[in-house]
């Protein structure tokens, strides 16, 4: 027998089984018992929150013999699933369901909707369930609108959408709107454990929580993940199984990175991130997992102060944007974490030459304070490229930056030069041209670390750029 997906198997059979949407099942139970069901519902919510399931339950309920008999029913009796109608409605020609995403042409929709004007063949009410209503063309929407405004007898519409803002007001205002919430993790997790039990598999609590978190409020996603783990499992599904099956970085790997950053240990950060890289995941996936983990920590208030965690999340989020489309995402992530581990170190490294490094300051002129100010305003990623450079004023309108290594010069021209010129122009009140040059023969300015931190930073920077050109400036 073909394996039936958990999501199909887990579909609610009655309103009481509608997980995480109690406000909807309560409202609909009241509507059934007071005979105030509408002929048009608009079901709104993220994917996997139960919109289509609810529409099917309602369609069934509108034809259920017990409901039609006017008995007072509880949520677990709506629909009854026992009467002839309940048992046959799934195969009824009066029960029409389609996905607007795949039936978008006006002709398709018109053909399907034209049936609304004919009396139901075997049911009490003819039902139309239309998924992703916002994908329909304007013409198709208009024909639905007409049907809702002047409904033929014994017809009901269930219009579902994930994007309410794309549904015309005219439709919204004529439907009873049901808003589906994201299903909380605390609701998904025990449900998954119960589902696994039914399959005679033990789903560990941590494993269930992890899946629930990944599902981000969607029961369908949660059950799909559980399905994947179940396919690989023996008698038990552990957190490690979930991580492995779904290709995730483990929480302990992520915690190692977070602890290393929080304890300002760059060596530990390096070790932890390399460990995470060995999982074979892309650095973007690792960064995303890191954000999720940080949010969890923030939520559970396990440790650290909130503003530190917020900064951490912001920095990683910015790194993800930089990583997208970058050829060196691993380096960006590593550098971001290094910076977080030692927030003050960057400013030491990019500080312009000061008196105690005479070899460099000899190359500078009276404008050195301006260089200083400008470097301070640059984003750290650009400032890093300027580690070890020599500024030279060519004329009043031209400044030359001499790089020791060609790779830094190349990165700077590509990613930092325009910004640097803009800041220069702002400071000087006129356009300043930046020339760049590489002089690998130039004597390396002596690195006299003012403190242990800056020395360590230079070691790191050197490693990051895989070049020996990083000098203190
Ligand atoms: Zn029934």
21 pLDDT more than 60: yes
Pairing of strands 390-393, 40-44: unpaired
Q: How far does Cα 273 stand from its chain's mean position? A: 21
Residue 104 lies in a domain: yes
Rounded distance between C-alpha atoms, residue 473 and residue 445, angstroms = 8
Residue 270 lies in a domain: yes
Distance 67 CA to ligand 1 centre (A): 7
Q: Is 20 helix (H, G, I), strand (E, B) or coil?
A: coil
Distance 69 CA to ligand 1 centre (A): 10
Distance 41 CA to ligand 1 centre (A): 21
Distance 161 CA to ligand 1 centre (A): 27
Do 326 and 301 belong together in one domain?
yes
Non-local (6+) Cβ contacts of 229 within 8 A are 203, 207, 211, 237, 241, 242, 245, 246
- Degrees, nearest 5: CA angle 368-370-373: 115
Distance 123 CA to ligand 1 centre (A): 12
Burial, 34: exposed, middle or buried (Cβ in 10 Å; 0-12, 13-18, 19+)? exposed
Residue pLDDT, tens place only, 234-284: 899 999 899 888 888 888 889 999 999 988 888 889 999 988 888 778 888
| pLDDT score for 78 | 96
| pLDDT score for 292 | 85
Residue 472 lies in a domain: no
Could you tell me if 37 and 175 are in contact, meaning their C-beta atoms sit under 8 angstroms apart?
A: no
Which range, 158-162, 363-367, 392-396, is most confident?
A: 158-162
Residue 109 lies in a domain: yes
Distance 248 CA to ligand 1 centre (A): 44
Do 227 and 256 belong together in one domain?
no
Distance 449 CA to ligand 1 centre (A): 81
Distance 314 CA to ligand 1 centre (A): 53
Identify the domain boundary among 197, 224, 246: 246
Could you tell me if 218 and 47 are in contact, meaning their C-beta atoms sit under 8 angstroms apart?
A: yes
Distance 202 CA to ligand 1 centre (A): 34
| pLDDT score for 360 | 31
CATH, residue 402: 3.30.300.180
Do 308 and 404 belong together in one domain?
no
94 pLDDT more than 60: yes
Counting residues of the chain whose pLDDT is more than 70, the rounded percentage is 82
151, 178, 174, 135: which is closest to 45 by C-alpha? 178
Q: Which residue has the higher pLDDT, 344 or 40?
A: 40
Q: Residue 26 has which token pair?
A: 């309560």
Do 15 and 160 belong together in one domain?
yes
Distance 336 CA to ligand 1 centre (A): 60
Q: Lowest mean pLDDT: which of 69-78, 314-323, 338-347, 464-473?
A: 464-473
Distance 46 CA to ligand 1 centre (A): 29
Distance 156 CA to ligand 1 centre (A): 17
Distance 125 CA to ligand 1 centre (A): 13
Do 296 and 337 belong together in one domain?
yes
Distance 80 CA to ligand 1 centre (A): 4
CATH, residue 205: 1.10.8.60
Cα diameter, the chain: 97
Do 149 and 12 belong together in one domain?
yes
Distance 77 CA to ligand 1 centre (A): 8
Residue pLDDT, tens place only, 119-177: 999 899 999 999 999 988 888 888 899 999 998 989 999 999 999 999 999 999 999 99
DSSP secondary structure of 42-83: EEE-STTSSHHHHHHHHHHHHH-HHHHTT----GGGSS-S-S
Distance 33 CA to ligand 1 centre (A): 14
pLDDT band at 403 (very low <50, low <70, confident <90, very high): confident
Distance 120 CA to ligand 1 centre (A): 17
Do 12 and 80 belong together in one domain?
yes
Residue 1 lies in a domain: no
181, 195, 216: which is closest to 50 by C-alpha? 181
Do 418 and 367 belong together in one domain?
yes
Identify the domain boundary among 152, 179, 206: 179
Distance 107 CA to ligand 1 centre (A): 34
Distance 86 CA to ligand 1 centre (A): 4
Distance 236 CA to ligand 1 centre (A): 38
With a threshold of 0.85, does the pTM exceed it?
Answer: no
Q: Residue 372 has which token pair?
A: 């200083």
Q: What's the whole-number average pLDDT of the chain?
A: 81
404 pLDDT more than 50: yes
Do 378 and 235 belong together in one domain?
no
CATH, residue 74: 3.40.50.300
Distance 257 CA to ligand 1 centre (A): 56
Q: Residue 4 has which token pair?
A: 């039936």
Residue 132 lies in a domain: yes
* Total domain count, the chain: 4
Identify the domain boundary among 153, 179, 205: 179
Distance 36 CA to ligand 1 centre (A): 18
| pLDDT score for 180 | 96
Distance 431 CA to ligand 1 centre (A): 79
Rounded distance between C-alpha atoms, residue 429 and residue 443, angstroms = 34
Do 32 and 172 belong together in one domain?
yes
Distance 83 CA to ligand 1 centre (A): 4
Please provide the size of the chain in residues.
Answer: 473
Helices (H), 324-431: 329-341, 345-350, 358-361, 368-377, 380-385, 406-411, 417-428
**Structural domain span for residue 460:** 346-465
Residue 471 lies in a domain: no
**Do you find a cis peptide bond into 398, omega within 30 degrees of 0?**
no
In angstroms, the Cα distances linking 267 to 154, 254, 319, 414 are 71, 16, 20, 30
314 pLDDT more than 70: yes
Rounded distance between C-alpha atoms, residue 234 and residue 143, angstroms = 52
Residue 473 lies in a domain: no
Distance 212 CA to ligand 1 centre (A): 33
């Amino acid at each position: 027998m073909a394996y039936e997906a958990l999501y199909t198997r887990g579909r609610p059979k009655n309103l009481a089984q509608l997980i995480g949407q109690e406000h909807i099942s309560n409202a609909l139970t009241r509507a059934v018992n007071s005979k105030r069901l509408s002929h048009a519902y608009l079901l709104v919510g993220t994917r996997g929150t139960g919109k289509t399931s609810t529409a099917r339950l309602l369609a069934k309920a509108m034809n259920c013999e017990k409901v039609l008999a006017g008995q007072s029913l509880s949520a677990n009796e709506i629909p009854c699933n026992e009467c002839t109608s309940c048992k046959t409605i799934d195969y009824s020609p009066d029960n029409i369901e389609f996905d607007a995403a795949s039936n978008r042409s006006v002709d398709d929709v018109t053909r399907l909707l034209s049936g609304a004007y004919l009396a139901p063949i075997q049911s009490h009410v003819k039902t139309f369930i239309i998924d992703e209503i916002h994908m329909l063309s304007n013409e198709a929407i208009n024909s639905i609108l007409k049907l809702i405004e002047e409904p033929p007898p014994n017809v009901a519409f269930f219009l579902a959408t994930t994007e309410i803002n794309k549904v015309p007001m005219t439709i919204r205002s004529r439907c009873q709107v049901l808003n589906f919430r994201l299903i909380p993790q605390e609701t998904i997790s025990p449900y998954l454990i119960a589902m696994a039990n039914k399959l005679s598999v033990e789903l560990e609590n941590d494993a269930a929580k992890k899946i629930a978190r990944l599902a981000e409020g969607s029961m369908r996603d949660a059950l799909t993940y559980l399905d994947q783990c179940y396919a690989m499992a023996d008698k038990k599904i552990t957190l490690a199984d979930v991580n492995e099956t779904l290709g995730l970085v483990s929480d302990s790997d992520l915690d190692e990175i977070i602890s290393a950053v929080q304890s300002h240990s760059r060596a530990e950060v390096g070790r932890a991130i390399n460990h995470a890289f060995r999982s074979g995941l892309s650095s973007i996936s690792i960064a995303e997992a890191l954000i999720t983990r940080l949010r969890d920590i923030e939520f559970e208030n396990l440790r650290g102060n909130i503003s530190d965690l917020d900064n951490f999340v912001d920095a990683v989020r910015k790194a993800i944007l930089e990583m997208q489309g970058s050829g060196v995402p691993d380096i960006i992530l590593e550098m971001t974490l290094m910076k977080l581990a030692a927030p003050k170190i960057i400013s030491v490294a990019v500080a312009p030459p000061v008196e105690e490094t005479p070899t460099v300051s000899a190359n500078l002129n009276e404008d050195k304070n301006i260089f200083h100010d400008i470097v301070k305003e640059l984003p750290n990623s650009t400032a890093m490229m300027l580690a070890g450079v020599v500024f030279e004023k060519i004329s009043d309108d031209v400044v030359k930056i001499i790089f020791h290594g060609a790779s830094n010069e190349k990165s700077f021209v590509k990613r930092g030069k325009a910004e640097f010129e803009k800041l220069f122009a702002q400071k000087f009140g006129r356009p300043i041209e930046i020339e760049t040059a590489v002089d690998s023969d130039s004597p390396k300015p002596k690195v006299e670390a003012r403190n242990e931190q800056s020395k360590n930073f230079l070691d790191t920077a050197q490693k990051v750029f895989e070049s020996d050109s990083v000098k203190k400036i």
